[in-house]
């Protein structure tokens, strides 16, 4: 295990910054200012104000200073901050970004606190696993979000479907019934690779595998190809473009027209749907992406944020106290209810039971996964070979050949 370092929480979903922590053992008196970096829109101003006020009231001599960061260019900014001196004490980072920052060996090792103080055994795997590098925990799970199925209740009723499907087989059958009379059974863009990842994982496949520190693309495995085959079947039951992702055009706008029965998206898409078509307000329903078996939903990609503490944090002891508070039950409950997030622990899923879409999301999050935990995975996504692979298969090219080519591209990038 490396020497213990403190890591700063940086951003992955919506941002705001908090600051404040206890004093270092043996430190002198006076006010300690904890500098916190949060990402744009991660938390509401109301939540931030409530947390800051409550924390400072409970911790004499501690002041929290929060700075909101923008996503554009954040990777370079965080890397420079953790490698310099006198940087932020706590940083919110995207859960899949932890590996690239840990690779600098400038993050504080939070393994002991994870086990002793934070109940790491109950953390959502999609947040906890990418924060763990080489057996050490550098990222503390903060909040999660994942895709669910948003559906039009009227179109389901017109097709004679009175309840959501329980398995992927049932889902295909229902979607075929819905794909008629000028309606789309589902709108699924051809390059929605996060959704594809869930199908691949559900089949037992991987995007890439790690053998002794050497990463290899794995889209050409039989399991991964089965996941792609299912994606192709589902995607054909609508008019989603085969050569574009879910942002081109924005899929919420397409669904809002009222002739699409289903959409795979995070619950935050609902606000965009209703902004485009307020008449759908009471017509939306939700269910987890179905799995192969009725007793568990499909595996899903988990997005969200972890909190890190840099080794160079000026107020490391106080920063640790702030992280414990943000990741603890009280403020996890407050955050989930205020922002519609999934809390960081499976055992806290019940706190959002009264929020229909969020509760459905929490059910799926129990089987959440993250992208391969390689420092170079961001480079894969930057010139993503998975997208053209998907388009090639959807347009009728040889699936095996296309999978081999994409896997080779992933392997070469991860080896850089």
Q: What is the CATH number of the domain that holds 73?
A: 3.40.190.10
Q: Say yes or no: 73 and 181 in one domain.
A: no
Gap between the Cα atoms of 384 and 196, Å rounded: 14
Give me the domain span that covers residue 408. 148-299+374-414
The predicted structure's pLDDT at residue 86 = 80
- Look at the alpha carbons of 21, 27, 30, 35 in this order and tell me if their dihedral is positive or negative: negative
Arithmetic mean of pLDDT, 161-175? 97
Q: Say yes or no: 294 and 305 in one domain.
A: no
Gap between the Cα atoms of 319 and 37, Å rounded: 12
Domain count, the chain: 2
Gap between the Cα atoms of 92 and 308, Å rounded: 7
pLDDT in tens, 125-144: 999 999 999 899 999 999 99
Q: Please check the confidence at residue 311 and state whether its pLDDT lies above 60.
A: yes
Q: Say yes or no: 90 and 129 in one domain.
A: yes
Gap between the Cα atoms of 6 and 289, Å rounded: 37
Q: Please check the confidence at residue 7 and state whether its pLDDT lies above 60.
A: no
Instruction: Using the structure block, give the residue that is written with the tokens 């085969």.
Output: 242
Q: Say yes or no: 308 and 291 in one domain.
A: no
Whether the bond into 249 is cis, omega within 30 of 0: yes
Q: Say yes or no: 129 and 54 in one domain.
A: yes
Q: Say yes or no: 139 and 55 in one domain.
A: yes
pLDDT in tens, 234-282: 999 999 999 999 999 999 999 999 999 999 999 999 999 999 999 999 9
Asked if residues 155 and 178 have their Cβ atoms less than 8 Å apart, the reply is yes
pLDDT in tens, 352-390: 999 999 999 999 999 999 999 999 999 999 999 999 999
Q: Please check the confidence at residue 18 and state whether its pLDDT lies above 80.
A: no
Provide CB contacts within 8 A for 358, sequence distance 6+: 267, 336, 340, 341, 342, 352
Q: Say yes or no: 139 and 160 in one domain.
A: no
pTM: 0.89
The predicted structure's pLDDT at residue 14 = 36
The predicted structure's pLDDT at residue 25 = 36
In whole numbers, what is the pLDDT of the chain averaged over residues? 92
pLDDT in tens, 196-230: 999 999 999 999 999 988 999 999 999 999 999 99
């Amino acid at each position: 295990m490396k020497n213990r370092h403190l890591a700063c929480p940086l951003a992955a979903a919506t941002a705001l910054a908090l600051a404040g922590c206890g004093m270092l053992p043996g430190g002198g008196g006076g006010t300690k200012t904890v500098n916190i970096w949060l990402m744009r829109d991660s938390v509401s101003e109301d939540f931030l104000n409530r947390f800051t006020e409550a924390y400072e009231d409970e911790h004499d001599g501690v002041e929290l200073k929060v700075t909101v960061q923008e996503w554009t260019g954040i990777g370079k900014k965080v890397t420079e901050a953790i490698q310099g001196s006198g940087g932020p004490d706590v940083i919110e980072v995207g859960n899949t970004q932890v590996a690239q920052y840990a690779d600098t060996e400038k993050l504080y090792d939070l393994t002991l606190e994870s086990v002793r103080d934070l109940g790491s055994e109950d953390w959502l795997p999609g947040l906890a696993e990418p924060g763990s590098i080489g057996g050490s925990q550098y990222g503390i799970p903060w909040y999660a979000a994942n895709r669910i199925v948003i559906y039009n209740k009227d179109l389901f009723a017109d097709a004679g479907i009175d309840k959501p499907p329980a398995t992927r087989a049932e889902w295909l059958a229902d979607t075929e019934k819905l794909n008629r009379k000028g309606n789309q059974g589902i709108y699924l863009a051809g390059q929605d690779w996060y959704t594809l990842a869930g199908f691949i994982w559900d089949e037992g496949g991987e995007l890439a595998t790690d053998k002794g520190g050497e990463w290899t693309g794995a889209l050409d495995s039989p399991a991964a190809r089965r996941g792609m085959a299912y994606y192709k079947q589902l995607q054909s039951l609508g008019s989603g473009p085969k050569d574009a992702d879910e942002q081109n055009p924005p899929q919420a706008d397409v669904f809002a027209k009222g002739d699409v029965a289903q959409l795979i998206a995070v619950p935050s898409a609902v606000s965009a749907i209703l902004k485009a078509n307020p008449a759908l307000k009471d017509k939306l329903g939700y269910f987890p992406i179905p799995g192969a078996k009725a007793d568990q939903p499909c595996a899903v990609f988990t997005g969200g944020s972890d909190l890190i503490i840099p080794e160079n944090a000026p107020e490391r002891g106080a920063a640790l106290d702030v992280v414990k508070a943000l990741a603890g039950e009280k403020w996890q409950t407050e955050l989930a209810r205020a922002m519609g997030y999934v809390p960081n622990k499976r055992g806290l899923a019940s706190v959002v039971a009264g929020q229909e879409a969020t509760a459905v999301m929490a059910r799926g999050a129990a089987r959440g996964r993250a992208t391969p935990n390689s420092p170079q995975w961001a480079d894969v996504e930057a010139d993503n070979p998975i997208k053209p692979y998907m388009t090639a298969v959807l347009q009728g090219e040889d699936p095996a050949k296309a999978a081999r080519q994409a896997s080779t591209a992933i392997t070469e990038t991860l080896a850089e």
